[in-house]
Each structure stands twice: as structure tokens, then as C-alpha cells.
């Protein structure tokens, strides 16, 4: 299951500011994609209740949650919102416990127990405990925190690789350790500081984690976290999870990119404009016959169109195929010369040829 935190983690992106209208559009888009749980933001943000009511009206099977620090006053505020779950953040590495909170380990456990019991007393049935900086924590103490959270009434722990330290192999070990020692719903929050967030999140789910945090385009603090579009597409197109509507993903990503001021690379996995564009001779010819040879899924499944073009990398077979697609009759003996002309013009322009350029070139027109 996916927990999208674009409206909490994503909103922490440097320079990103989402007003209520934008937050509604993002949340609605996430519901359309089929995201299981939407983290609507953090306690202290404006209009959380309004946002929650809006989503409840348009989606009946999406869990709504908010993030709160491990403070009773904030948890009481969360209990007044029309949400399903509360995510309580608590650091578990000694560095954070001592330097950030000014506590020792026993003090942290006491504060956590008070927070969870307050949440339960105020009617919050599903409490999630986000164990921050778990990848730098003492493993035995991290397990102690998880067991303590469960004993106090928590329903889920969320293991946060806060600085993106883990690899898929170490993530596998982490999940297996917690799953073997504490019987509780387990989520992961994988940061992308070394480019492994999506891989780590997928590994966690494959190893038995129940949830993975994601955000649209992976936006968040620093280099962000695992990307919503990548996890949803992988689960839908590779694992057969029918809940996720991947055709809706590109539109959602485009909207978030615009609102957050983020440029989407043309080769971005799942939603890049050119991920199904090809001019390489062998690949272009093969794609014209059997697309599955070089495509992991159909472009239409993620709202993208295939683009085939001839250019400096094209061979005679690709040129012949392009002539056929354009409805151009050409003497086969001219194919070699035309192929050379295509390559030369493409190299001069430093790009593949447009359809009109190719048709003109095939007719013998000189293009400067």
C-alpha cells in the first residue's frame, strides 16, 4: 500500500508553496490514481479540516492522515480533524534524541507512551509512529521503541531512512528484523540522497512491509523521497495491482511540477516526454514490428505516446519504415542515398528530423 505525502513531505521542498486550491487538486489527483492513504500535511497548517472534508466527499476508500510531533497538545488538535489516522514523528537515533529533543532513551519512551495514550484517549483509533533516522539508530533500541509503541496501542510503525543511507540489501535486512521481532503494520519512508529511494521502497514492500511513503515526482526535503509515479506504475504494471490507475499519473505529475516549480526531465521514469521516443536504427525497426521487444509497458498505460523518428542513428530499415508510415513511394535503390542524407542533415541540426523535413528530403528537396 502507498502512503502519499506530497502534501506534507513534498510541501517541505525548498521554494514550494501550495495554497488550499492547489492542495485540493493534488489530493483529488492522488485519489484518482488510487493512492491508499494521503498524508494531508502537518498539524499547524491552515485548512486541514477543510481539505479532509473535501477529499472525503470525492473518495470513500482513501485513508486520510496528518503528521504531528510527539506532543500531546498537537495530538489533541489532530483528534478534532475528520481524518482516519495520525502519524506521530519521533526520532530514534541517539544523536536526534539528545541534540534535538534534549532527552535520554528512557525520556523518549516516556514521551512516546504519553503521546500514544493521549491519541487513543481522544478517539484516534489508528496511530502510526514514525521512527525517524532509524538507519543511524542503535538496532536494539529501535526494536525497543517499536515494541513499546505497539504495547502502548500503536497500529503501525514507519521506519524512516531520514538521510537516505540504506541500500536495497540493508533495507531487506531492516524489514526482516522488524517483521521477525514486532508484529505490527510496518511502513517505510525512504529518502533519495543517494538515488535509491524507489529501489529501497520496492525492496521493503517485497520483503513484507505493508506500506511505503511516496510523493509525486519524489519531491521533498533535499533530494526528496520515493516517487509516487514510479511505485504506482511498478505495482500496477509489474505486480498487477489493479487499484492504481496509471493513466492518470502523467497529468498529476505535470500539475505538481508546475505548482512546485520543478522541471521534469524528458527521460524521467514513467512520466518523461521522451521515454518512448526512439531514433536508433535497430530499435526503431524492431518497435515498428513488435513494441514489446524494447518497451517495458505500453506508452498509453501511463498517458504517453510513442515517438519514432529518423536521424543520425537511423539505418536503412528505419528509413524504409518511415517512408511507409509517411505514405511516400520511394525507389529502393535510393534508400542508401536517402539514409545518408538523413544522417547528414540530422547531424547538422543536432536532432532527429521532423516528419515534414523527412518527407521533403525523401522527395529530393535540398534542406539547409
Reported as a single tens digit per residue, the pLDDT across 45-72 is: 999 999 999 999 999 899 999 999 999 9
Burial of 283 (0-12, 13-18, 19+ CB in 10 A): middle
Say if 326 falls within a structural domain. yes
Please check whether residues 240 and 312 belong to one and the same domain.
no
Say if 367 falls within a structural domain. no
Full residue range of the structural domain in which residue 177 is found: 2-260
Reported as a single tens digit per residue, the pLDDT across 324-352 is: 777 776 665 688 888 888 888 888 888 88
**How far is Cα 320 from Cα 231, in angstroms, rounded to an integer?**
38
Please check whether residues 38 and 127 belong to one and the same domain.
yes
The whole-number average pLDDT for the span 175-200 is: 97
Reported as a single tens digit per residue, the pLDDT across 194-250 is: 999 999 999 999 999 999 999 999 999 999 999 999 999 999 999 999 999 999 999
- In this structure, what are the phi and psi dihedrals at residue 291, rounded to the nearest 5 degrees? -55, -30
CB of 27 closer than 8 Å to CB of 4: no
176 pLDDT higher than 80: yes
284 pLDDT higher than 90: no
Please check whether residues 169 and 288 belong to one and the same domain.
no
Boundary of a domain, candidates 215, 230, 260: 260
Say if 269 falls within a structural domain. no
Please check whether residues 292 and 158 belong to one and the same domain.
no
Say if 62 falls within a structural domain. yes
Please check whether residues 241 and 283 belong to one and the same domain.
no
Please check whether residues 163 and 195 belong to one and the same domain.
yes
Say if 11 falls within a structural domain. yes
Reported as a single tens digit per residue, the pLDDT across 127-162 is: 999 999 999 999 999 999 999 999 999 999 999 999
Please check whether residues 24 and 92 belong to one and the same domain.
yes
Confidence class for position 295, pLDDT limits 50, 70, 90: confident
Residue 29 maps to which CATH number? 3.20.20.70
Burial string for 234-254 (b: 16+ CB within 10 Å, else e) reads: bbbbeeebeebebebbbebbb
Say if 267 falls within a structural domain. no
Say if 43 falls within a structural domain. yes
Number of domains in the chain: 2
Q: Which three cell numbers stand for residue 235?
A: 505495482
Burial string for 307-326 (b: 16+ CB within 10 Å, else e) reads: ebbbbbbbbbbbbbbbbeee
Say if 266 falls within a structural domain. no
Amino acid at each position: 500500500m502507498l502512503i502519499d505525502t506530497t502534501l506534507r513531505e513534498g510541501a517541505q521542498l525548498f521554494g514550494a508553496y501550495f495554497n488550499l486550491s492547489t492542495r485540493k487538486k493534488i489530493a483529488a489527483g492522488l485519489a484518482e490514481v488510487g493512492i491508499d492513504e494521503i498524508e494531508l500535511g502537518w498539524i499547524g497548517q491552515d485548512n486541514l479540516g477543510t481539505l479532509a472534508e473535501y477529499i472525503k466527499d470525492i473518495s470513500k476508500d482513501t485513508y486520510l492522515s496528518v503528521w504531528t510531533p510527539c506532543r500531546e497538545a498537537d495530538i489533541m488538535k489532530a483528534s478534532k480533524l475528520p481524518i482516519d489516522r495520525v502519524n506521530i514523528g519521533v526520532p530514534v537515533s541517539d544523536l536526534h534524541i539528545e541534540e534535538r529533543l534534549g532527552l535520554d532513551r528512557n525520556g523518549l519512551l516516556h514521551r512516546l507512551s504519553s503521546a500514544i495514550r493521549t491519541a487513543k484517549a481522544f478517539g484516534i483509533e489508528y496511530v502510526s509512529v514514525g521512527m525517524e533516522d532509524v538507519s543511524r539508530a542503535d538496532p536494539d533500541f529501535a526494536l525497543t521503541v517499536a515494541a513499546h509503541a505497539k504495547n502502548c496501542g500503536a497500529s503501525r510503525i514507519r521506519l524512516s531512512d531520514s538521510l537516505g543511507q540504506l541500500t536495497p540489501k540493508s533495507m531487506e535486512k531492516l524489514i526482516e528484523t522488524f517483521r521477525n521481532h514486532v508484529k505490527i503494520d510496518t511502513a517505510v519512508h525512504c529518502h533519495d540522497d543517494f538515488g535509491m529511494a524507489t529501489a529501497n521502497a520496492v525492496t521493503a514492500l517485497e520483503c513484507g512491509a505493508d506500506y511505503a511513503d511516496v510523493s509525486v515526482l519524489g519531491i521533498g526535503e533535499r533530494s526528496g523521497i520515493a516517487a509516487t509515479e514510479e511505485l504506482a506504475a511498478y505495482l500496477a504494471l509489474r505486480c498487477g495491482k489493479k487499484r492504481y490507475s496509471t493513466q492518470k499519473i502523467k497529468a498529476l505529475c505535470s500539475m505538481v511540477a508546475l505548482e512546485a516549480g520543478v522541471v521534469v526531465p524528458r527521460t524521467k521514469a514513467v512520466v518523461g516526454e521522451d521515454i518512448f521516443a526512439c531514433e536508433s536504427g535497430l530499435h526503431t525497426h524492431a518497435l515498428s514490428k513488435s513494441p514489446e521487444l524494447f518497451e517495458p509497458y505500453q506508452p498509453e498505460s501511463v498517458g504517453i505516446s510513442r515517438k519514432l523518428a529518423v536521424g543520425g542513428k537511423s539505418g536503412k530499415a528505419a528509413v524504409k519504415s518511415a517512408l511507409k508510415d509517411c505514405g511516400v513511394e520511394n525507389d529502393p535503390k535510393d534508400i542508401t542515398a536517402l539514409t545518408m542524407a538523413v544522417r547528414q542533415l540530422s547531424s547538422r541540426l543536432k536532432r532527429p528530423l521532423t516528419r515534414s523535413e523527412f518527407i521533403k528530403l525523401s522527395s529530393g528537396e535540398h534542406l539547409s
